[in-house]
């Protein structure tokens, strides 16, 4: 069997990259990988180095449809400006049980409240977060920074030039958001508040489950 017969199609390559990735992957990153593999292995592998980003986007859309039509339990989501291969949401209970995720560490309610304030008001000062929550947030904010959900984005022009905080790429990936504009609007948040009688909400963190 020749090398030509054993080389995969572009769709297979992109599918394998999405499977191997531990974060969302952009078309630019996929193209960079194709070019890099061509340089590293040469010969027939160089043919994929000419693939354009538009070609990659078209293949991703094709893969999306095939996964849906095949009822594979997998889907490709648009997350954080890229693409992520993930299990279908309705398969979650079995995946969590298999991975023993029901015993995982959780984000506390104070942490989620602080994270929401940062997300909706960014860039935001620590003092502004404390003004909204009515309590000190030093410890909670430090934990969110350590978990790479929040980061320092700039310094304020106020006296002492305090830090301004914002959300990270990991924040988008963790909550399955393509961009910040995909966050629930204020009307949706008000509807969520009607569900206050339910147990305290918590959210799992990737890598801690």
Which of the pair, 134 or 22, is modelled with greater confidence? 134
- Overall average pLDDT of the 85-106 stretch: 76
- Does the domain at residues 102-204 carry the CATH identifier 2.60.40.10? no
pLDDT at res. 4: 46
pLDDT band per the 50, 70, 90 thresholds, residue 96: confident
The pLDDT tens digits of the residues spanning 40-67 come to 998 889 999 999 999 999 999 999 999 9
pLDDT at res. 32: 96
Least confident of 27-31, 35-39, 69-73, 201-205: 201-205
Q: Give helix 10-20 / helix 53-69 axis angle, nearest 10°.
A: 80
Arithmetic mean of pLDDT over the chain: 83
Q: Kindly state the percentage of the chain with pLDDT values over 90.
A: 49
Helices (H), the chain: 3-6, 10-20, 27-41, 53-69, 92-98, 109-121, 126-133, 138-146, 169-174, 186-193
Residue with the two structure tokens 């914002």: 166
Q: Kindly state the percentage of the chain with pLDDT values over 70.
A: 83
The pLDDT tens digits of the residues spanning 174-192 come to 888 888 888 887 555 555 5
pLDDT at res. 66: 94
- Does the domain at residues 3-90 carry the CATH identifier 3.40.50.1000? no
What's the distance, CA 205 to chain centroid?
11
Whether 101 and 91 have beta carbons less than 8 Å apart is answered as no
Q: Where in the chain is the domain with CATH 1.10.10.10?
A: 3-90, 102-204
């Amino acid at each position: 069997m020749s090398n030509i017969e054993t080389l995969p199609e572009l769709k297979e390559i992109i599918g394998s990259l999405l499977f191997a990735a531990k974060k969302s992957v952009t078309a630019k990153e996929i193209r960079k990988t194709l070019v890099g593999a061509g340089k590293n292995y040469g010969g027939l592998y160089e043919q994929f180095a000419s693939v354009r980003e538009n070609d990659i986007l078209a293949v991703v859309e094709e893969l999306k449809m095939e996964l849906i039509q095949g009822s594979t339990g997998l889907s490709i989501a648009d997350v954080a400006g890229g693409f992520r291969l993930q299990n279908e949401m309705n398969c979650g209970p079995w995946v969590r049980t298999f991975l023993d995720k029901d015993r995982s560490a959780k984000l506390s309610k104070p942490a989620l409240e602080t994270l929401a304030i940062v997300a909706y008001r960014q860039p935001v000062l620590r003092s502004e977060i404390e003004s909204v929550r009515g309590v000190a947030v030093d410890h909670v904010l430090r934990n969110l920074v350590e978990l790479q959900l929040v980061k320092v984005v700039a310094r304020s022009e106020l006296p002492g030039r305090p830090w301004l905080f914002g959300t990270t790429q990991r924040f988008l990936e963790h909550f399955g958001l393509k961009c910040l504009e995909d966050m629930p609007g204020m009307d949706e948040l008000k509807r969520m508040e009607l569900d206050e009688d339910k147990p305290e909400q918590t959210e799992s963190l990737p890598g801690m489950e």
